[in-house]
Amino acid sequence: MHSNGHGHALAPLPTVSEFTNDIVGRHAQTGPRYKRALTLLGFLFALGVVGFIARAVTDGFDERRPWGYFAATAAFLLTTAGTAPIIVIGLRAIKAHWRRPLVRLGELYGLVTVLILAMFVVLLFLIPSAVDRRTMYFQSSGAGLPGTVGRIFGAPHIYDLTLLTALVCAAIGLFWASTRGDKALLAGRGGKAVGKWWGTTKQWRVTTVGLGLIGAVFFVTVVGFISLFSIDMAMALVPGWRDAIFPAFQVITGLQGGLATLIVSAYVLRRFGHFEKYIHMDHFWAASKPLLAFCLLWFYFGWSTFIIYWYGRQPAEQSVMQMLYFGPYEFFFYAAFLLCFVVPFFTLIWNGVRKSCGGPALAASFILIGNLCDKIRLYAGSWSVPNNLIKDHALARSDVPLVNYPDVFDVMIVVGGIAGALFIVLWMARRVPIVSLWEVSEGIRLRVVRPFLRTRLTVLGKPE
């Protein structure tokens, strides 16, 4: 046994061969827990599809209000699973060593963008054109109306869909580039052809550069799409709601939600997948620090958006506050504030809680629940504004819609959408090892145990 430098004893470091044989052996077997989880998630996903069909048959696509929870589910998946790859992309860019066992989880969650794309196509049928509406596109058809001269073709549908398609392609490209070496290793051990991958130094260099470039594209597209999604699918649907900070606030919620998704997934993988040998307390301790920072950023950006309306007190701003904060959706606002900031902040400020596996995972679980409440507040509320009011300059207090309580179809859609995302991750985890073989193997080669005074420490080398 040796120490990690903080007084915690760790198991002896495995060799590359031992690690590879262990992960390949685990990947070749399908345990009963995996089969039960995949079956349950598949059933819930199918139930969500049934709920979607029932909603389409009973309510159609003429009014947005019945689809508020569907939009909230898409926004929740976008700011949790859809942003999880950003975390591993950032950690890979700064060469954070503790990222290695978690990289594949983030890349698997990136494939959930395919489901988000399918849901977004449905949402496009419910969003009217930006013509003669007060949106970020500033266009109008009349000479006496404010806006640009002429019309911006296809706004907002074409531009949102193009950006999301680029995001999906970047997510798939990131997954393909990162798993190519692992797939070749699995195929070679099974006696199959490995295609054009030989594992040469040039191929690994191309892979490393490619991951950096694709990661940059993913970062730009996901930040841009979250911003456009929050504007076109929420803010532009509420007359008088003008907030330059709101898109950035939604990006922050995405970074917080993406990291929380990785932490909870790592805990489940360690606890139920028996990966204690590779996912240690140090990984949760390291991840808890940026999670605490994101909690503070959530409060800062949330307060910055709120304080403008609180002190402005214009009639239009009062209507927005009534709808989103202190009116029909005040429960969801208080729940989001408590679960995304107060509870995780006062949990993670204690060093003893951060230096554990369960503490950061518990705080991350609260954040995910709070994120869902926040999306219900924003999208179920904004999608309740009738079509005949969204072109107005402001929303009167008397026109603030009542709370849109979820019915059985909404519950099926929300649960089914989340289950569908997890189903995609678990199903694809059977195609590639859930722990990256080449990333962790590289980390093992960079580690060595050296004596120091009365203990032994793990020394990390720099890859370059």
- Cα torsion 199, 205, 206, 211 to 10°: value is 110
Q: How high is the mean pLDDT of the chain?
A: 89
Task: Provide Rg for the chain, Cα atoms.
Answer: 24
Q: Is 187 helix (H, G, I), strand (E, B) or coil?
A: helix
Which tens digit of pLDDT belongs to each residue from 309-345?
Answer: 888 888 888 998 999 899 899 999 999 999 999 999 9
The answer to whether residues 376 and 69 touch, using CB atoms and an 8 Å cutoff, is yes
Tokens of 79: 């700011």
- Report CA-CA distances (Å) from 337 to 48, 64, 210, 361: 28, 26, 39, 19
Is pLDDT of 140 > 70?
Answer: no
Looking at residue 6, what is its pLDDT?
47
Identity at 221, one-letter amino acid code: T
How far apart CA 418 and CA 348 sit, in angstroms, is 26
Identity at 451, one-letter amino acid code: P
Tokens of 82: 């859809």
Is pLDDT of 280 > 50?
Answer: yes
Chain position carrying tokens 């099974």: 190
Q: How confident is the model at residue 365 (pLDDT cuts 50, 70, 90)?
A: very high
* Residue 109: partners with Cβ closer than 8 Å, 6 or more residues away: 81, 82, 84, 85, 258, 261, 262, 265, 421, 425
Rounded to the nearest angstrom, the gap between the alpha carbon of residue 74 and the centroid of all alpha carbons in its chain is 11
Residue 447 bridge partners (DSSP)? 460
Of the chain, the end-to-end C-alpha distance in Å amounts to 29
Looking at residue 65, what is its pLDDT?
95
Rounded mean pLDDT of 66-85?
Answer: 97
The string of DSSP codes covering 90-112 is HHHHTT-GGGGGGHHHHHHHHTT
The pTM for the full model equals 0.93
How far apart CA 403 and CA 412 sit, in angstroms, is 19
The answer to whether residues 51 and 409 touch, using CB atoms and an 8 Å cutoff, is yes
Which tens digit of pLDDT belongs to each residue from 301-319?
Answer: 999 999 988 888 888 889 9
Please state whether beta strands 9-10 and 2-3 pair in parallel, antiparallel, or not at all (unpaired): antiparallel
Per-domain residue ranges of the chain: 2-141+151-460
How far apart CA 249 and CA 304 sit, in angstroms, is 9
Q: Is 461 helix (H, G, I), strand (E, B) or coil?
A: coil
